């Protein structure tokens, strides 16, 4: 019996500050790629939450903390790690990863794949930081052999010359499917409305609170399960003050950050995504997998996952009145609610699974590592 060849080693260069949507992608790729012939290791440049929160602890993880967003001091250690570890590919995420990974790729001649999860700089606090982040992203695209984007919308958003645009490959995010749609009925007396994010400006929580205020004024009874941590104590204080001003405090369960999002979704009758900008949010896919009907702003790749009036309801961003109307519609129509949850559950399993995502990423890796002259056949 011929032994299987050893897996090809790939080094993912990530931030690691949070464990949110992009980090879930990184974690799930590490879990799924070994079965496809690729062994993932991580370098964390801001190792705060990810090292402990990740589900797939088997992937080696190295901490090379940067003192600031443009600190180049970890580069020598990164180059040693790449060379001594026998890594054949680098896979970078976000500004820090693009900066250090791009330099390391140029020095070591190890090919680089760049992964773009959303509109770069959208949440940047200052104009200069937005400009710098976009510059680093563009430089990373120049160095990268291929650039993965998580939605068709994001690909269309990236204004790049033809030489860079041809590198873009759309690979939708994916999450583990649930093996079956658990039976449940809509609680119409006091439904649970849920939302999940790492809360910061741009996630639209202010609009959701305004929509819920409209529902409360119309006499609707409900509870809001608010899952996720906040960017800063000051931002959280402002949100809590808004909730108090709108008379919503006694309707909100502040559940905080968690890695057990699926458990939280099981308690929700309706999931609401109020974001102003997204790539392709993992939590939308997790809600689909869990059979929780969705009301979401039609931003980024959300409309590529949720078909309006088939799998859920899509609304324009920054429209609390439309959000309130959509929530009211779904919670008042049990038949439509049941139809959407069944359709979304099947769609996620068919098109947006973690296995689909990993297989597409492995195909990118294989194409890049193909011997010269066979890349066209591999692609």
Query: What are the structural domains of the chain?
Result: 8-174+353-378 (3.40.50.2000), 192-351 (3.40.50.2000)
State pLDDT tens for residues 286-322.
999 999 999 999 999 999 999 999 999 999 999 999 9
Residue-wise pLDDT tens digits, 335-360: 999 999 999 999 999 999 999 999 99
Q: Tell me the backbone φ, ψ of residue 197, rounded to 5 degrees.
A: -170, 165
**What average pLDDT does the segment 253-277 reach?**
94
| 358-369 confidence digits (pLDDT tens) | 999 999 999 999
Residue 23's nearest CA partner among 281, 347, 303 is 281
> Are 26 and 14 a contacting pair, CB within 8 Å?
yes
Rounded distance between C-alpha atoms, residue 241 and residue 227, angstroms? 17
The answer to whether the CB of 244 falls within 8 A of the CB of 84 is: no
Confidence of residue 132 (pLDDT cuts 50, 70, 90): confident
pLDDT, residue 123, reads: 61
Which residue's structure tokens are 């369960």? 253
Predicted confidence (pLDDT) at residue 5 exceeds the cutoff of 90: no
Please return the burial class of 371, using the count of CB atoms within 10 Å of its CB with bins 0-12, 13-18 and 19+. exposed
* Residue 3: pLDDT band with limits 50, 70, 90: low
- Please state the rounded mean pLDDT for residues 59-84: 97
What pLDDT, on a 0 to 100 scale, did the predictor assign at position 344? 97
Q: Is the CB of residue 294 less than 8 Å from the CB of residue 311?
A: yes
CA dist 173 and 175 (Å) reads 7
Which residues does residue 313 pair with via DSSP β-bridges, in sequence order? 295
Within the chain, strands assigned E span 8-14, 38-44, 61-63, 89-93, 112-116, 146-149, 168-170, 192-196, 223-227, 252-256, 270-273, 294-297, 312-315
Q: Is 18 helix (H, G, I), strand (E, B) or coil?
A: coil
Beta bridge partner(s), residue 315: 297
């Amino acid at each position: 019996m011929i032994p299987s060849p050893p897996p090809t080693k790939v080094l993912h260069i990530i931030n690691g500050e949070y464990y949110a949507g992009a980090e879930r992608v990184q974690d799930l790729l590490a879990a799924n790629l070994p079965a496809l012939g690729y062994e993932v290791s991580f370098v964390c440049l801001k190792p705060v939450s990810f090292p402990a929160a990740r589900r797939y602890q088997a992937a080696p993880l190295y901490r090379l903390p940067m003192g600031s967003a443009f600190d180049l001091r970890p580069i020598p250690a990164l180059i040693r790690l790449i060379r001594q570890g026998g890594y054949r590919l680098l896979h970078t995420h976000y500004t820090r990863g693009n900066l250090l990974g791009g330099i390391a790729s140029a020095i070591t001649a190890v090919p680089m794949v760049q992964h773009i999860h959303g509109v770069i700089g959208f949440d940047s606090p200052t104009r200069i930081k937005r400009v710098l982040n976009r510059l680093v992203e563009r430089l990373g695209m120049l160095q990268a052999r291929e650039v993965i984007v998580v939605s068709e919308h994001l690909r269309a958003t990236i204004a790049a010359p033809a030489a860079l645009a041809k590198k873009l490959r759309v690979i939708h995010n994916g999450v583990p499917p649930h093996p079956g749609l658990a039976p449940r009925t809509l609680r119409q007396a006091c439904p649970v409305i849920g939302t999940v994010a790492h809360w910061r400006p741009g996630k639209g929580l202010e609009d959701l609170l305004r929509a819920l205020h409209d529902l409360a004024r119309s006499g609707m009874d409900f509870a809001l399960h608010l899952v996720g941590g906040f960017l800063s104590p000051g931002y959280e204080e402002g949100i809590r003050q808004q909730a108090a001003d709108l008379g919503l405090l006694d309707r909100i369960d502040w559940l905080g950050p968690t890695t057990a999002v699926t458990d939280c979704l099981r308690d929700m009758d309706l999931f609401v995504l109020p974001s102003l900008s997204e790539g392709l949010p993992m939590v939308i896919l997790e809600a689909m997998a869990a059979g929780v009907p969705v009301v979401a702003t039609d931003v980024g790749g959300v409309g590529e996952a949720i078909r309006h009036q088939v799998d859920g309801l899509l609304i324009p961003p920054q429209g609390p009145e439309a959000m309130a109307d959509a929530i009211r519609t779904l919670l008042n129509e049990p038949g439509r609610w049941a139809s959407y949850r069944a359709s979304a559950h099947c769609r996620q399993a068919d098109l947006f699974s973690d296995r689909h995502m990993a297989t597409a990423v492995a195909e990118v890796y294989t194409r890049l590592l193909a011997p010269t002259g066979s890349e066209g056949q591999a692609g």
